[in-house]
Amino acid sequence: MRLPRRVPWASLAELDQVCAAIYGDENDVDAKIFAINRIAAWKAVTALPHAVESTLAFLVVIIEDTKQGATPPILLRHSYAAAVIRLVNGLVDPLQVGTYARSISAIAQQLGLPNWLVELRHAATHEDLPSLSLLQEAARQSMSWLLHNYYLPILNPVSTRLTTSAPPLRPLAPMLKFYKNTMKSITRDVSLMSQLKPKIVGILRDLERWIAECRVTANVAVGEVGWYAGQTDGADTDAKETWALERFCDGLAEKGMLVPLSKKKRQLAGEDLLPNKSSVAFWDPLLQHVQTIHVDFPYVLCRRLVSTLLTANTSPEAPTTDASYDMFLASWVIWTIETWQDTSSVYLDLKWETVVHLMKGLGCESPLASRNRSAISALLKNLTSGQEELESVTSLLLRPNTQLSGPEWNPSDLHVMEERNKLLQLTMLEPLSNSKQSNSSPQESSQDIAIPGCL
């Protein structure tokens, strides 16, 4: 559950009043001065969100710019440039969440920030100071961007969510295929390891950047684009990272990734239900690398792979004969648990959590496709082996539905039920008829009363 965040305004009506003063009339200087004073009062009480802080910086320099000849142009240029730099840096820096830094333009593109503002920020920081007219236009566009991406979503969140969509992610499959092909070359010829090692490092960095981009997408999807820098709670951060790791695990579960495309290459390693050595050699470096950076990766991977196995294919067009894919996917669940179960105290319950997720999916109200039954049965039996209580529950869950069903319905049963219903109604009416016999003695009447259910 997301915890409430402290905001400077007492109500949305107060924020709406300030927003109307800022954006109502471009030439109304008094309204903008009112907005500056109100925001300054907020700042004296509590820390301002980055969007409001940037709005205050732009408003101050805009008011100074309206004073014809009172402020030197060079001072205006520096003030405009500082406001643009603070806006861009304050948006981008909180979203540099990956181990490897990403370009500012890439993050700005995900946020929908105009790319030329990023270039202007770079020029104002490292090159000649841009002209006053260019900086004035940058201020106008920045204020417009803040209106549509911060103030309007807060003042009218329902309509904004209906019209706002998360930015699309880069395709993950080409990067995973490139990694797999490179690892194939290394496993076939170990002498190429030193030559191809920089390429592997580059692929791992690119994949880590992809996960970081997913986290930015999660921020945009929930309407947060770094406004609350320094105020985010751990629950929200973990939820966004988990969402990004789930998208990554879904890419790994596609055919041709963890599970080879060729059915001949899906042979398991003996009776332990583990992936074959060649598949482990391909993917172990990548999985170990991701787990080093994201400690929750093994748990997310097991959960997503199990969810894929539990998905019921009820559509007539869905494939129903690719049992080798399910079995090989189940083998990766076992490999993940055996690899990281005892490496850290965090994963002492990794096997237990996987078993619980499996048993919930095998509930009586969850229809499973027939093709999933063998893989899930083998996986659940492997994880519960040696534990008597869990083995009894497993045998109950995996019992065929025919053993749990009652006797078949016979149309004549309805007639029998109707006869029994009539008999019960007559039995209940007998005490009432006996009580009307006034001539009988109390002893006789009490003896004649038929009590339902008694002989």
Condensed to tens digits (0 to 9), the pLDDT of residues 346-386 reads: 545 788 888 888 887 776 444 444 445 678 888 888 888 87
2 has pLDDT over 90: no
Asked if 172 and 253 count as a contact pair (C-beta separation under 8 A), the reply is no
CA distance 6 to 48: 10
Task: Name residues whose C-beta falls within 8 Å of residue 332's C-beta, 6 or more positions apart in sequence.
Answer: 258, 259, 275, 301, 305
- pLDDT at res. 177: 92
- pLDDT at res. 425: 79
Count of CB atoms situated within 10 Å of the CB of 323:
16
CA distance 90 to 84: 10
399 has pLDDT over 90: no
Task: Name residues whose C-beta falls within 8 Å of residue 151's C-beta, 6 or more positions apart in sequence.
Answer: 15, 19, 23, 51
Asked if 153 and 160 count as a contact pair (C-beta separation under 8 A), the reply is yes
Which tokens hold the place of 249?
């695990």
223 has pLDDT over 80: no
89 has pLDDT over 80: yes
CA distance 436 to 430: 10
Q: Which of 94-98, 131-135, 186-190, 400-404 has the lowest mean pLDDT?
A: 400-404
- pLDDT at res. 321: 56
- pLDDT at res. 437: 55
3-state secondary structure the chain: CCCCCCCCCCCHHHHHHHHHHHHCCCCCHHHHHHHHHHHHHHHHHCCCCHHHHHHHHHHHHHHHHHCCCCCCHHHHHHHHHHHHHHHHHHHHHHHCCCCCCCCHHHHHHHHCCCHHHHHHHHHHHHCCCCCHHHHHHHHHHHHHHHHHHHHHHHHCHHHHHHHCCCCCCCCCHHHHHHHHHHHHHHHHCHHHHHHHHHHHHHHHHHHHHHHHHHHHHHHHHCCCCCCCCCCCCHHHHHHHHHHHHHHHHHHHCCECCCECCCHHHCCCCHHHCCCCHHHHHHHHHHHHHHHHHCCCHHHHHHHHHHHHHHCCCCCCCCCCCCHHHHHHHHHHHHHHHHHHCCCCHHHCCHHHHHHHHHHHHCCCCCCCCHHHHHHHHHHHHHHHCCCHHHHHHHHHHCCCHHHHCCCCCCCHHHHHHHHHHHHHHHHHHHHHHHHCCCCCCHHHHHHHCCCCCCC
- pLDDT at res. 58: 92
pLDDT band at 3 (very low <50, low <70, confident <90, very high): low
- pLDDT at res. 323: 82
Distances, alpha carbon 60 to alpha carbons 56, 141, 333, in Å = 6, 16, 58
Which tokens hold the place of 53?
């802080």
34 or 236, higher pLDDT = 34
What does the chain come to in residues?
Answer: 455
86-100, 125-139, 153-167 — most confident range: 125-139
211 has pLDDT over 80: yes
pLDDT band at 249 (very low <50, low <70, confident <90, very high): very high
Mean pLDDT of 157-186: 75
332 has pLDDT over 90: yes
CA distance 206 to 367: 39
Closest to 268 (Cα-Cα) out of 257, 280, 252, 282: 280
pLDDT band at 432 (very low <50, low <70, confident <90, very high): low
pLDDT band at 163 (very low <50, low <70, confident <90, very high): very low
Asked if 331 and 363 count as a contact pair (C-beta separation under 8 A), the reply is no
- pLDDT at res. 227: 47
pLDDT band at 310 (very low <50, low <70, confident <90, very high): confident
146 has pLDDT over 80: yes
Asked if 56 and 40 count as a contact pair (C-beta separation under 8 A), the reply is yes
- pTM for the model stands at 0.61
pLDDT band at 422 (very low <50, low <70, confident <90, very high): confident
CA distance 31 to 23: 9
Closest to 302 (Cα-Cα) out of 260, 347, 235: 347
Closest to 184 (Cα-Cα) out of 273, 281, 249, 105: 281
The pLDDT tens digits of the residues spanning 250-274 come to: 999 998 899 998 888 888 877 778 9
| CA atoms in the 13 A half-sphere facing the CB of 259 | 22
78 or 224, higher pLDDT = 78
218 has pLDDT over 70: no
18 or 390, higher pLDDT = 18
Report percent pLDDT > 70 for the chain. Answer: 74
104 has pLDDT over 50: yes
Which tokens hold the place of 385?
């082996």
Mean pLDDT of 54-63: 91
CA pseudo-torsion sign 25, 30, 31, 37: positive
Task: Name residues whose C-beta falls within 8 Å of residue 38's C-beta, 6 or more positions apart in sequence.
Answer: 14, 17, 18, 21
Question: What are the φ and ψ backbone dihedral angles of 259, each rounded to 5 degrees?
Answer: -100, 120
